[in-house]
Chain A
Amino acid sequence: MTENITKPGGKDIGTLLIAAIFVGLGLLTLHDVGGYSDSDSVVFPTTVAYALIFFSVLVAIYSWLRPNLENGFGSGDWWRRLLLVASMIAACLMMPYTGFLPATAVAFAGSLIAARHEGWGIRSAAVFAGAGAVIMGAFYALFRFALGVPLP
């Protein structure tokens, strides 16, 4: 075990929450296996669910007794993190309607804005947009035409 940084009264809420979610997932699995028709399908997920519940309870007890207060999301801009993930998911949702390239252009632009910390000018925006178009075009051509992947 690590040497946890602890202080009296402090709790590692994140770890406790994750352990509780894992226990919930285990219970959900035990509920789900009740509907399987073949007993061969039941044994493994049941065993795994019990193991998940058991270890998660131990994690919760250990974390309650010796919380590691170093755990947490740390510093950094939340809007950038969220923009990155949201733009990638938006691209997936758009893909069936707009096709691959327009959808992934949204993800590319979102990630670009999220990752650029130095500020923007017309020239830098044009350079990054051009570079992005070349990179996406090259990979699209590689997958679509050279590797024969049926991109939407």
Chain B
Amino acid sequence: MDWGNLANALTLANLALALFGVVAGTVIGSIPGLSATMAVAVLVPITFAMEPASALILLGAIYTGAIYGGAYSAILLNTPGTPSAIATTFDGYPMAKRGDGDLAVAIACYASVFGGLVGALALLLLAPPLSTVALAFGPVEYLWLSVFGLSLIASLSTGNVLKGLAGGAFGLLLSCVGVAEISADIRLTFGSSTMIGGIEVVGALIGLYCIPVLIDLVATPERHLKVEDEVRSVRFREGALIAWKSRINLLRSSVIGTVIGILPGAGGSVAGLVAYSEAKRTARPGQKFGEGEPDGIMATEAANNATVGGGFIPTLVLGIPGTPPDAVILGALLVQGVRTGPALFDGGGSIVYTFIFGLFIATILMLPTGLLIGRYAYKTIVTIPKAILVPTVGFMTIIGTYAIRNSISDVIIMIGLGSVGWVLSRFGFAASPIVLGLILGPIAEQGFVQAWIIGEATGNLTGMFFGRPISLAIIAFTILTLIYPVIQSRRARRLARTQANSND
């Protein structure tokens, strides 16, 4: 590592590119339907004429900004701007509804910056050794990782676990629609050609989270969010204090995000959900996750931004993209003539280290820009009349869903799923387990079928599924996640009983 690379990253041009990238990424990421992948993909062509290091800095800044930007609409509209922000809705929107949206936006910004810095630090110091972690993950580990993700249904189904499990199974079933993951069978389309492409995850997310909110909004004249008499600016001091108090949660979630970011295909949505689950599992007494708990936002946002640095580790060291935006960036690097691999850190070290320092700078720049944009986003959302907010958000859901695959069918599916989601939510079936099933279904199926084929071929099915150390560790975590809430509630009941007895 040469500190001259830091000076290279700090040139005026690179600083301007990092600032532009963060702002553009944040704005694009905040629009439902425009994911971080799309933000990076649409802006890739402008990097072709740049120096490789500058191009990487711009793309990294767009990526990190877009992941953070997804939090705005998650908090203020209950619609994750990017799939990475799914778990941000769980506590962000309840906070906004009770009048703390400004605080939630500030907390999300601090957590995103913290997570981004931890991910970038891991990329700087641990890239080559950590990349071997990715290679140790086979199909069966992905299967168990997705089962671990599905175990979150128990914790996400606040109210009725059975309905959560049924909703999760419904989501898994929806993930099967279209062409099969492994073979080419066309499944569950019932002759409809519009269903062959399957259910697009981002469109489904928009539908399941956004359409029910719109349906509820138009039905009554009440305001969208609770507003104080005087609209405040973003509460950055209060947010900083809360973030500092939850530094352990921030650090743990950032490490989770970094490690999951390293795993090819897992991405920010899985990282956010796993970190959320861990934050909930280790909650202090009195913390109410799912009802507007700041720690829930911090866990998700720290983890999803940490996947940026984590995802670059296998991308740059092995040439295996850790997340979908990394795949786009990898393509841009190949166009630039940069060959990824361990040698990039030796021979071409100046490019990669200039980029890593650029990523640090972009993440730090996200703090003032994020708080500033957040302030205006919050003020706009809380003061805009409902008669403008609803049609604007409705228009954005249509154009955003259409833009993903240029498909009107996706828009119709989005509206249909949203309407079904609204009916289901009215009878206690939450959207989150359905979304979880939809996202984790393909990962689980691919891991299961591949592991089954390998296990059968080697004549050791049991060993394949239950004999690998990483798998066993994930299974142990899954069991712990499932039984810990039961142990915790029993302990709380016993404590309450002891206190009641002592009072008598």
Given the contacts A18-B429, A111-B394, A136-B395, A143 and B160 also touching, CB distance less than 8 Å: no
Residue in A closest to B161 when the chains form the complex, CB atoms: A1
A-contacting residues of B (Cβ < 8 Å)? 34, 38, 42, 159-163, 165-166, 169-170, 172-173, 176, 180-185, 187-188, 190, 211, 214-221, 386-392, 394-396, 398-399, 402-403, 406, 408, 411-412, 415, 419, 423-424, 426-429, 441, 444-445, 448-449, 452-453
Decide yes or no: A58 and B215 within 8 Å by CB, A71-B428, A112-B387, A143-B403 being known contacts: no
Write the chain B residue with the least CB distance to A146.
B42
Cα A1 to Cα B428 with chains together (Å): 11
Q: Mark A119-152, 1 if CB is under 8 A from B, else 0.
A: 0000000001001100110011001001111111
- By beta carbon, the residue of chain A nearest B448 is A44
A38 contacts across to B, CB distance below 8 A: 180, 182-185
Mark interface residues in A1-20 (1 if CB within 8 Å of B CB, else 0): 11000000000101100110
Provide the residues of chain A in CB contact with B173, threshold 8 Å: 25-26, 29, 45, 48-49, 52
Q: How far is the CA of A85 from the CA of B212 in the complex (A)?
A: 10
Complex Cα–Cα for A128 and B160 (A) = 42
B contact residues around A74 at 8 Å (CB): 219, 426
Most chain A beta carbons < 10 A, residue from B394, B402, B424, B426: B394
- Residues 13 to 55 of chain A near chain B (Cβ within 8 Å): 14-15, 18-19, 22, 25-26, 29, 32-33, 36-38, 40-41, 43-45, 48-49, 51-52, 55
Beta-carbon contact of B396 and A62 below 8 Å: no
Not counting A52-B170, A77-B220, a sample of 4 additional A-B residue pairs whose C-beta atoms are within 8 angstroms of each other reads A51-B169, A58-B162, A112-B390, A114-B390
CA of A73 to CA of B190, assembled, Å: 30
Determine whether the beta carbon of B160 is less than 8 Å from that of A114: no
Chain B residue nearest to A32 in the complex (CB): B188
Known: A77-B219, A92-B415. A55 touches B187 (CB 8 A): no
Would you call A52 and B218 a contact (CB within 8 A)? Answer: no
CB-CB < 8 A to B42: which residues of A?
146-148
Instruction: Give the residue name and chain of the B residue nearest to A68 (CB).
Output: B428
Give min CB distance, A103 to chain B, whole Å: 9
Q: Given A18-B427, A59-B163, is A139 in contact with B176 using a C-beta cutoff of 8 Å?
A: no
Q: Are A40 and B399 in contact (CB under 8 A)?
A: no
CA distance A72 to B422 in the complex (A): 11
Task: Produce 1/0 per residue, A65-83, CB < 8 A to B.
Answer: 0001001111111101101
- CB nearest to A91 among chain B residues: B398
Of all chain B residues, which has the CB nearest A54? B169
Contacts A14-B427, A29-B188, A89-B415 given; does A76 touch B216 at CB 8 Å: yes
7 contacts between A and B (CB under 8 A): A52-B166, A75-B219, A81-B218, A85-B211, A95-B408, A143-B403, A149-B399
For the complex, give the distance between the alpha carbons of A83 and B215 in Å.
Answer: 10
Binding site for B on A (CB under 8 A): 1-2, 12, 14-15, 18-19, 22, 25-26, 29, 32-33, 36-38, 40-41, 43-45, 48-49, 51-52, 55-56, 58-59, 62, 68, 71-78, 80-81, 83-85, 88-89, 91-92, 95-96, 100, 104, 107-109, 111-112, 114-118, 128, 131-132, 135-136, 139-140, 143, 146-152
If A59-B163, A117-B221 touch, does A32 touch B408 (CB 8 Å cutoff)?
no
Rounded to whole Å, the gap between the CB of B364 and the closest CB of chain A is 27
Q: Determine the chain A residues whose CB is within 8 A of the CB of B188 once the complex forms.
A: 29, 32, 45
Q: What is the minimal beta-carbon distance from B397 to any residue of chain A, in angstroms?
A: 8
Q: How far, in angstroms, from A4 to B132 measured CA to CA in the complex?
A: 50
Is the pair B394, A108 in contact by a Cβ cutoff of 8 Å? Answer: yes
Are B391 and A132 in contact (CB-based, < 8 A)? yes
> How far is the CB of B182 from the nearest CB of chain A, in Å?
5
Chain B neighbourhood of A104, CB < 8 A: 395, 398-399
What 9 A-B pairs have minimum CB-CB distances, sorted nearest first? Answer: A76-B219, A38-B183, A115-B390, A117-B221, A41-B185, A111-B391, A52-B169, A55-B166, A116-B387
Does the CB pair A71–B427 fall under 8 Å?
yes
Selected from A15, A51, A73, A75, the residue in CB contact (under 8 A) with B172 is: A51
Per the bound structure, the CA–CA distance linking A146 and B183 in Å amounts to 38
**Which of A15, A84, A96 has the most chain B CB atoms inside 10 A of its CB?**
A84
Residues from chain B with a CB closer than 8 A to the CB of A118 are: 221, 387
Chain B hits for A117, CB < 8 A? 220-221, 386
Q: Is the CB of B390 within 8 A of A44?
A: no
Known: A48-B173, A92-B411, A149-B406. A135 touches B392 (CB 8 A): yes
Contacts of B444 in A (CB 8 A): 44
> Which residue of the partner chain A has the closest CB to B409?
A92
Q: Are A40 and B182 in contact (CB under 8 A)?
A: yes
A48 touches B403 (CB 8 A): no
- Chain B residues within 8 Å of A44, by CB: 176, 181, 441, 444-445, 448-449
Given A52-B173, A136-B395, A1-B160 contact (CB < 8 Å): yes
**B390 proximity list for chain A (CB < 8 A):** 84, 111-112, 114-115
- In the bound assembly, the distance between CA atoms of A91 and B411 in angstroms comes to 10
CA distance A131 to B180 in the complex (A): 45
- Complex partner residue of A45 from B187, B396, B428, B452, CB under 8 angstroms: B187
User: Shortest beta-carbon distance, B303 to chain A, in Å?
Assistant: 27
Query: Which residues in B have their C-beta under 8 angstroms from that of A26?
Result: 173
- Taking a contact as CB atoms under 8 Å apart, the answer to whether B185 and A37 are in contact is yes
The answer to whether B187 and A41 touch across the interface, beta carbons within 8 angstroms, is yes
With contacts A52-B170, A85-B419 taken as known, whether A111 is within 8 angstroms of B412 at the C-beta atoms is no
A12 to B429, CA, bound (A): 13
A45-B173, A131-B388, A149-B403 known; A88 and B394 CB under 8 Å?
A: yes
CA distance A64 to B190 in the complex (A): 32
Q: Which of A2, A107, A147 contacts B159 (CB 8 A)?
A: A2
